[in-house]
Structure 1
Amino acid sequence: MIRKVVALFLALSLDLCLFYASDRFIFLGHVARLWLSAALRWSAVSLTVQVILGDLKPVLIRYITAHSALQAVFESGSRTLHGEDSLCGGAADARCWLMFSGAALGAALFWEITIPDQDDAAGSKEEKQKSRVLFMRVLRLFKPDYLLLLAGLVFLSLAVLCEMFIPFYTGRVIDILGSNFEQNEFLSALLFMGLYSVGSSVSAGCRGGVLMCAISSFTCRMKVKLFEALSKQEIGFFETIKTGEITSRLSKDTTLMARTVCLNVNVLLRTFIKTVGMITLMMSLSWKLTFLVLMETPITGLIQNIYDTKYQKLFQDMQNSMARTNDTANEVVFGIRVVRSFHTEMHEASRYDKRLMETHSLKTRRDTVRAIYLLARRLTGLAVQVFILYYGRLFIQNGQMTTGNLVSFILYQSDLGNNIRTLTYIFGDMLNSVVAAGKVFEYLDRKPQISTDGKLQPDQMKGHVTYRHLSFAYPSNPSKTVLQELSLELKPGQMTALVGPSGEGKSTCVSLLQRFYEPQEGEILLDGNPLRSYDHHYFHKKVAAVSQEPVLLSGSIRDNITYGLSDCSMEEIREATCKANAHDFIMKLDKGYDTEVGEGGGQLSKSERQRIGIARALIRKPQVLILDEITSSLDIENENKVLQTLASCPNQTLVVIAHSLKTVEKADRIVVIIGGKVQEQGTHQELMDLKGVYYKLKEQLFTEKTDQTQTEA
C-alpha cells in the first residue's frame, strides 16, 4: 500500500511540473507544444509508476494515456471545429489540469465499465446474453398489446418534443425582459410556452393511460399462463416447492415482468429521445459548456454501475426472504388447529417475527446503499453546476452567451443530469425485471415429470389393474425407498383391502394408481396398458378416489359434487348423493344443493364432507374406485349403507384402505403390505387360518377399532 501511495504522489507531482513546463516550449506552435507535452508526461508518468510498482497493468496504461493526451485532443478539436482555443487554451492553469484529470479519470472508469478486460467480462457476458434472450421473450409475449404499445410510443414522442422546447422559451422570455422590451415577441414566446406545456401534459397523460392498460392486460394474461402451467405440474413438484415461493411468482414477479417493457422501455425511449434533443439544443447555446456537462456522464455511469450491482443482489435476497415470510404465514394459517391445540401461538409469532426481521435487515441494507448512492449522485451534480455557473459568468462577460441562454442551459443541464442518471439506472431496473421474468419462465418452461400426452380412450374398460415389480421413493425424500419390487393384481368385480401398519406403503400404492407420481422402476397396467398411455381426462374419470380427509372447494354442494364435469343433470346428482347416503342431510339444509360449503368445507361436519366426497367420486361412474379410510368419519348406519351401495356394483374394481375390521372382513381379497412389499394375500378366513402376519395385525390394528365401534353402537 505504501509503495502505491508513493507512486501516486510522485507521478502526480511529476505530471503537474511537466504540465506547467509546456509553456517553456515557445519555439513550437500551440498545438505542437500540447502534443509534445502530452508525450513527455505520458513517458515520465509511465516510467515512474513502472519503476516503483514493477508492473504496468492495462487499466493503468489506459488511464495514463487518457490523462496525458486529453488536453491535446480537446484543444486540437476546438481549433479544428471552431477555429478558436478553449478557456484552457492559453497559459497552463491548475484548474485546467484538475478538470482534465477528472475527465480522464471519468473516461477511464467508463471504459472499464463498458468494455472490461476479457477475463473479467467472461462471467458477465453469459449473464448479459441470458438477460437479452429473456427480454426479447417478454417482448414477444406483448404481441396482443402491440397497438397499445405503438400508441404509447406516439404519445411519448409528442410529450418529449413538446417538453424539450419549454426551457428554450423560458430563456427567450428572460432575454426579452432584460433587453429592449417588445410586446409582440413577449406574447409570442408566452404563447409557444403555453402550447408546448399543454401539449406535453396531454401527451404524457395519454401515454401513461395507454401503457397502464397494456400493463394490466399483460399481467392478467401472464398470471393465467403461469397458473395454468403450475396446475399441470405433478404432485411431487408441490411437495418440494414452498407455497410462499409459488404465490410470490404469481403475485409479484408477473407484475415485474410487465414493467420490463411497458414502464422501463417507455422510460428508456422517452429519456433517450429527450437526452439527444436537449444535447442538440445545448450545443446550439454553448458547445463548450455542453462538453463540460458531458464530463459528468462517465462518473455518473460508474456510480450507477456500483449501485446496480449491490442493489440487484439485495433485491433478489429480499424477494427470497419475502417468499419465506409468506410461506411461514401460510403454514400457520393452514395449520391453525394444530397451532392452537399445542399452544404454540407465541412460538409461531416468534418464528414469523424472525422472518420479518430478516426481510427488515435486507431492506435496511438496501435503503443504506440507496442513500449512499443518492448522496454521491447529488454531490456529483452539484460540482458540475458550480463549474457551469463559474464558466457561464465568464462567457457572459466575454459576450459569448446571453443571460437568458445561460438560464436555458442550466434548465437543460439539470434535466439532462437526471436523464443520464435515469438511462444508467433503467438498465439495472430492467435487469431486476428480467430476473423476475426468468423465475416465471422457469415455471412456464418446466415440463411435468408425469406425462399427460396419452391418447387411449377405449369404449369399454374392465378395470383390471396389475402392479409389476414396482419400486418407488418420494421426490421429497429420494433416499428412502417406500415400495420395493411390489407386485399386485386388482381384479374387476372384487373388493380388495390393503392392510398393514401406517407408513408401510398402502397409500403410496393408490397414489401411484392415481398417477400422482411415477415409479422409479416397474409399471402399473390398466387392462394390460400402461397408465401413461391413457388420455388424461378419460383416465381420471374412470379411476376415482375418495380420501380420508376429502378436500372441498369454496362454492355450493352442487359445485363440489360436479367438480370437473360440465354436463351433469340433477337426476345424476341425486343418484350419486343417494348412493353416498348424503341426499337426506343435504335436503335438510336451508338452500339444499345450493348451500355454500365455506372455505375447505368448513360449514359442514367431517361426516358430511366425507359423504359429499363419496358422491363426487360416484357421479363419475368410475370403473376403478379407491377408498382411503373413508369409513373412519362415518357412523355405523352410514358406513353400512355406503358399503352396501358399493357392493352393488358387480363389475367395479374396488380398492379399500381401512383399519376397520368390519370393512376388511367384507373384502373379497386382503393384501397385507409391510415394508413396501406384499407379505400375504387372500380372504379373511384364509389369512386367519394361516396365522401369519395378518393374524398378528388383526390383534394389533383391528381390536381397538372393533371395541370402539361396539362402544359407540
Structure 2
Amino acid sequence: MIGIGRSVLPSTLFRAYRGTVVRSSPHPTQLCHHRLGSRWFSSSPPRLAAKPSTAQASPSRGQVKHEIRRLLKLARPEYKLLALAFGCIIVTSSVSMSLPLFIGKIIDTAKPLDDNDDDDKDGNKVVTEFAPEEKDTVILGLPAHQFYMALGALFTVGALANFGRTYLLRSVGERLVARLRSRLFSKILCQDSYFFDVGPTKSGMKTGDLISRLSADAQIISKTLSGNISDGVRSLISGMVGLSMMCYVSWKLCLCMSAIFPPLIIMSTVYGRRIKKLSRTIQENLGAMTKVTEEKLNGLKTIQSFSQQRAMVHDYNHEIKNIFNSSIYEGKLSGMYNGFNGFLGNVTLISLLVIGTKLIGQGEMTIGDLSSFMMYAVYTGSSVFGLGNFYTELMKGVGAAERIFELKDSKPSITTSLGKKVDDLYGDIALNNVKFAYPSRPNSEVFANLDLRIRAGENVCLVGPSGSGKSSVSQLLMRFYDPLSGSVTVNGHDISDLNLNFYRSQMGYVQQEPLLFSGTIRDNLTFGKRDATEGELDEAMRLSNSLNFIRDLPQGLDTVIGPSNSTQLSGGQRQRISLARTLIRHPKMLILDEATSALDSISEELVMRNLLMLNRDLGVTIINIAHRLSTIRNSDRVIVFNQQGEVVEDGPFSELYGNPNSELNKLLKNHDLE
C-alpha cells in the first residue's frame, strides 16, 4: 500500500510555470526564443519563499475560527441544495463502506477441498482449491441469489446518489461563485477614490489585483465551500462508519490502529497553518502579476516605441519568480506531508496484517474477517488522510477568503445612495475655505485655504501651470473626494449632505482621456440615459460636432468600439463621443477637463460655439479646465492658479489678456499655456 488517501499535489502554478519564458534576449524580437534560466531550478527556493512575505502577524486560533465561520456563512443561501447533497453523500458513503463487509462474508462462504490441500516446506497446510458455492448458501440471512440481487439494487442506489452529489455540488459551487463575484463587483463600484488610492492594503487597490480577487480568489472559495467541504463530510462519514465496522469485526485490531491518529493530527495541523499563509501569499503574487500584465499590455505601444520590451519582460519575470518560489515551497511542504502520511499508512497496514494473522491462528477471527478489516482499514485510513487534506484545503480557502473579506469589509467614506434630493440645485457654486490633499499623498497639500465662487450660468475657465490644482477642483465638485476642511456648496447646499447619485445626475463631467466601453457607439452615447430617443441622440451628436463622422461610419451608431482598441477612432473623435454622452443627459453644470485638447482648431471652434449656445440659451454653468489659448478665449471669466494652488488672478478674459503684466500673460510667455 503506497500513499493512502488523496495526495496534495504541488500547485498548478508550479507545473504551469515550468517552461515559462523569462531570460532576457539580446534583442527584443528574440525574446520568445529563450527559456527559463536553469538557476531557478538548480537552487533551492530562497528563504523569503519559506516565510511568505505577509506583513501581518500570525493570526491567533480565535481569528482563524472567526474567518472559517465567515467563510462557511457564504454558503448559507445554498443550504437546501447542500442538505440534499450531503444526503447523497451519506448514501454513497454507506454503500461504499458496506462493500468490505460483503466481501468478507462472500469469502467466508468458500469452503476448502481438504483432499487438495498441500503442505508448504514448513509443514503448514495451504489451501489451493475451494469448493463451488452450494445452492443453499446463506449470506447475511439471505439466500445467495437474493443477496446478489439486493447487492445490485444497493449499488444502483449508490450510483444514483453519486450522480446527485456531483450535480448538486457543482450547482452550489457555480451559484456561489456567481453570487460572490456579483456582490463583490457591486461593492467595488460603490467604493470612493480613497479605496483605490489607499485601500485596505495601504498602497491602493489596483485593477489587476481586483481582477485576481474577483476571479481566482472567488473560485478558490467556491471550491472550498462546495467540493472540499463535501469531501470532508464524506471522509468524516466514511471514517466513522469504517471505525465502527472495524470495532465490530475486531476491537483488538481497531485499538492497534488508533495509534496512527495523534501523529497524523499534529502533522495536519502544522501543515494546514503553513498552507493558509502560503495560499494568501500565492494569491497576492497572482494579483501583482495580473496588475503588471494589465499595465504592460495597456501600454504596449509605449513600450514598443521606447524599445523597452526586455525591461518589461524582466519586470514580468520578477512577478513570475515570486509565484514560482511560493509554488515550489508549497510543493516541498506537500511532499513532506504526503511522504509522512504514506510512510505512516504503510507501516500501519503491515502491522495490522501481522497481528491479524496471529489472531486467525488463535481462532479469534476468520480469513474473511481479516479481509474485511484490512479493507476497512484502507478505507478508514484514506478517510483520515482525507480529513487532513480537507483541513489544509480549508486553510487555503481561508487564505483566499481573507482577501475577499477585505473587499466586503471596506466601507466607503463617501456613500452614493444616502442624503437628500433637492429641487433647487441650480445655483452658485462655492468652495469655502477648502483644505485638501490626496489620500495617497497626505503630506502634499493641494489647497490650503481655497475660496472660490462660480455664479449660476457662468462660463468659467480655470488655468494655471501643471500641478496647480485645476483638476482637483473638478474632483471636489464631482465629490470624488471630500475636502479635509471647509465645504463645497451648490446653491447653498453642502454637497456632502446631498444624495450623490442624484447630485451627479445634474452634473456633466468630461475628461481629457475619456473611456469608451466595449460595445457600439449607440451603447456608449446612451450609457447615462438608457431611454434616450433618436432625437436626443441626434441633438447631442450635433452639439458635440460628431454627427457627421458617426454617420459616415459603415455601421453608423451601431459601429462596435472599445476602451483601448478603438483603432478606427481618433483621439478627437473619442473626445466628441464622450462629450455627446454627457450632453445627452442635459446637465445643469458642465465640467470640461481638457475635454477638447485632441480636437483640431476648426472642430474645437464648432464645439465651443455650440457650448456657448447652451450657456446663453439654457443657462448651463460651464467650468472649463484648459491649457490652450483657443479654449480659454471662449470663456467669460478666467481664474488663474499658481503652483501653490492659490487663486492669483480672476477676471474677464479680455481684461486679463489685454494686461501685459497679468499672470495669464506670464503663463503664456513661459509657454506653460499654448
Q: Which bracket does the TM-score occupy, shorter chain normalised?
A: 0.7 to 0.9
In structure 1, what is the Cα distance between the partners aligned to 2:245 and 2:366? 15
In structure 2, what is the Cα distance between the partners aligned to 1:210 and 1:123? 34
CA separation of 1:699 and 1:368: change in aligned 2, threshold 3 A = same
Residue from 42, 61, 67 that aligns with 1:125: 61
| Equivalent position of 1:104 in the other structure | none
- List aligned pairs for 1:444-593, cutoff 5 A: 444-593=408-557
Say which SS state the counterpart of residue 262 (structure 1) adopts: helix
Residue 194, structure 1, aligned to residue 178, structure 2? no
Alignment-mate amino acid for residue 172 of structure 1? K
Residue 165, structure 1, aligned to residue 98, structure 2? yes
Whether the 8 Å contact between 1:282 and 1:409 is mirrored in structure 2 is yes
Residue from 560, 569, 573 that aligns with 1:604: 569
Q: Which moved more, 1:614-623 or 1:185-194?
A: 185-194
Whether the 8 Å contact between 2:276 and 2:399 is mirrored in structure 1 is no
Give the C-alpha shift of residue 702 in structure 1.
Answer: 6.6
In structure 2, what is the Cα distance between the partners aligned to 1:519 and 1:589? 44
Say which SS state the counterpart of residue 332 (structure 1) adopts: helix
In structure 1, what is the Cα distance between the partners aligned to 2:476 and 2:433? 13
Give the C-alpha shift of residue 136 in structure 1.
Answer: 4.5
Alignment-mate amino acid for residue 572 of structure 2? S
Residue 659, structure 1, aligned to residue 627, structure 2? yes
In structure 1, what is the Cα distance between the partners aligned to 2:621 and 2:211? 39
| Equivalent position of 1:24 in the other structure | none
- List aligned pairs for 1:342-361, cutoff 5 A: 342-361=306-325
In structure 2, what is the Cα distance between the partners aligned to 1:585 and 1:139? 52
Alignment-mate amino acid for residue 581 of structure 2? R
Say which SS state the counterpart of residue 635 (structure 2) adopts: coil
Whether the 8 Å contact between 2:512 and 2:594 is mirrored in structure 1 is yes
Alignment-mate amino acid for residue 280 of structure 2? Q
Residue 273, structure 1, aligned to residue 237, structure 2? yes
Residue from 656, 667, 672 that aligns with 1:697: 667
Whether the 8 Å contact between 1:303 and 1:373 is mirrored in structure 2 is yes
Give the C-alpha shift of residue 315 in structure 1.
Answer: 1.9
Alignment-mate amino acid for residue 167 of structure 2? G
TM-score (norm 2): 0.83
| Equivalent position of 2:638 in the other structure | 670
Residue 152, structure 1, aligned to residue 85, structure 2? yes
In structure 1, what is the Cα distance between the partners aligned to 2:375 and 2:528? 64
**In the TM superposition, what whole-angstrom CA distance separates every residue of 1:447-505 from its partner, at most 9, and x where no partner exists?**
11212244433334324210111111112222211122111111122211111111111
In structure 2, what is the Cα distance between the partners aligned to 1:689 and 1:298? 90
- List aligned pairs for 1:326-345, cutoff 5 A: 326-345=290-309
Whether the 8 Å contact between 1:463 and 1:624 is mirrored in structure 2 is no
Say which SS state the counterpart of residue 153 (structure 1) adopts: helix
In structure 2, what is the Cα distance between the partners aligned to 1:595 and 1:439? 39
Residue 315, structure 1, aligned to residue 287, structure 2? no
Give the C-alpha shift of residue 133 in structure 1.
Answer: 3.4
Give the C-alpha shift of residue 392 in structure 1.
Answer: 0.6
Say which SS state the counterpart of residue 553 (structure 1) adopts: coil
Residue 648, structure 1, aligned to residue 606, structure 2? no
| Equivalent position of 1:679 in the other structure | 648
Say which SS state the counterpart of residue 581 (structure 2) adopts: helix
In structure 2, what is the Cα distance between the partners aligned to 1:153 and 1:607? 60
| Equivalent position of 2:364 in the other structure | 400
Residue from 362, 384, 392 that aligns with 1:420: 384
Residue 134, structure 1, aligned to residue 70, structure 2? yes
Give the C-alpha shift of residue 676 in structure 1.
Answer: 1.2
Residue 620, structure 1, aligned to residue 585, structure 2? yes
| Equivalent position of 1:291 in the other structure | 255
User: CA RMSD for the aligned pairs?
Assistant: 1.9
Give the C-alpha shift of residue 410 in structure 1.
Answer: 0.4
Give the C-alpha shift of residue 415 in structure 1.
Answer: 1.0
Give the C-alpha shift of residue 378 in structure 1.
Answer: 0.8
| Equivalent position of 1:182 in the other structure | 134
Residue 410, structure 1, aligned to residue 374, structure 2? yes
In structure 1, what is the Cα distance between the partners aligned to 2:70 and 2:397? 10
Whether the 8 Å contact between 2:540 and 2:580 is mirrored in structure 1 is yes
CA separation of 1:182 and 1:131: change in aligned 2, threshold 3 A = farther
Give the C-alpha shift of residue 530 in structure 1.
Answer: 1.0
| Equivalent position of 2:191 in the other structure | 233
CA separation of 1:702 and 1:363: change in aligned 2, threshold 3 A = closer
**Relative contact order: is structure 1 or structure 2 higher (C-alpha 8 Å, sep ≥ 6)?**
2
Whether the 8 Å contact between 2:465 and 2:672 is mirrored in structure 1 is no
Alignment-mate amino acid for residue 203 of structure 1? A
Whether the 8 Å contact between 1:149 and 1:214 is mirrored in structure 2 is yes
Residue 264, structure 1, aligned to residue 239, structure 2? no
In structure 2, what is the Cα distance between the partners aligned to 1:131 and 1:138? 11
Whether the 8 Å contact between 1:166 and 1:193 is mirrored in structure 2 is no
Say which SS state the counterpart of residue 329 (structure 2) adopts: helix
Say which SS state the counterpart of residue 60 (structure 2) adopts: helix
Alignment-mate amino acid for residue 283 of structure 1? C
Whether the 8 Å contact between 1:610 and 1:630 is mirrored in structure 2 is yes
In structure 1, what is the Cα distance between the partners aligned to 2:273 and 2:64? 13
Q: Which moved more, 1:199-208 or 1:634-643?
A: 199-208
| Equivalent position of 1:26 in the other structure | none
| Equivalent position of 1:431 in the other structure | 395
Give the C-alpha shift of residue 123 in structure 1.
Answer: 6.6
Say which SS state the counterpart of residue 461 (structure 1) adopts: coil
Give the C-alpha shift of residue 127 in structure 1.
Answer: 1.9
- Percent of matched pairs sharing the same residue: 29
Whether the 8 Å contact between 1:660 and 1:702 is mirrored in structure 2 is no
Give the C-alpha shift of residue 131 in structure 1.
Answer: 2.5
- List aligned pairs for 1:198-217, cutoff 5 A: 198-217=156-175
Alignment-mate amino acid for residue 85 of structure 2? G
In structure 2, what is the Cα distance between the partners aligned to 1:690 and 1:679? 15
**In the TM superposition, what whole-angstrom CA distance separates every residue of 1:189-238 from its partner, at most 9, and x where no partner exists?**
54444333333232112111111111111111111000000011112322
In structure 1, what is the Cα distance between the partners aligned to 2:111 and 2:283? 56
Structure 1 gap ranges (5+): 1-121, 706-713
In structure 2, what is the Cα distance between the partners aligned to 1:422 and 1:124? 25
Give the C-alpha shift of residue 424 in structure 1.
Answer: 2.7
Say which SS state the counterpart of residue 623 (structure 2) adopts: strand
In structure 1, what is the Cα distance between the partners aligned to 2:245 and 2:444? 73
In structure 2, what is the Cα distance between the partners aligned to 1:316 and 1:537? 36
- List aligned pairs for 1:36-55, cutoff 5 A: none
CA separation of 1:163 and 1:698: change in aligned 2, threshold 3 A = same
Alignment-mate amino acid for residue 233 of structure 2? L
| Equivalent position of 1:51 in the other structure | none
Whether the 8 Å contact between 1:463 and 1:652 is mirrored in structure 2 is no
Counting helix residues as a fraction of each chain, which structure ranks higher?
Answer: 1
In structure 2, what is the Cα distance between the partners aligned to 1:150 and 1:677? 66
Q: Which moved more, 1:355-364 or 1:265-274?
A: 265-274
Say which SS state the counterpart of residue 110 (structure 2) adopts: helix
Say which SS state the counterpart of residue 74 (structure 2) adopts: helix
Whether the 8 Å contact between 2:640 and 2:664 is mirrored in structure 1 is yes
* Paired residue total: 580
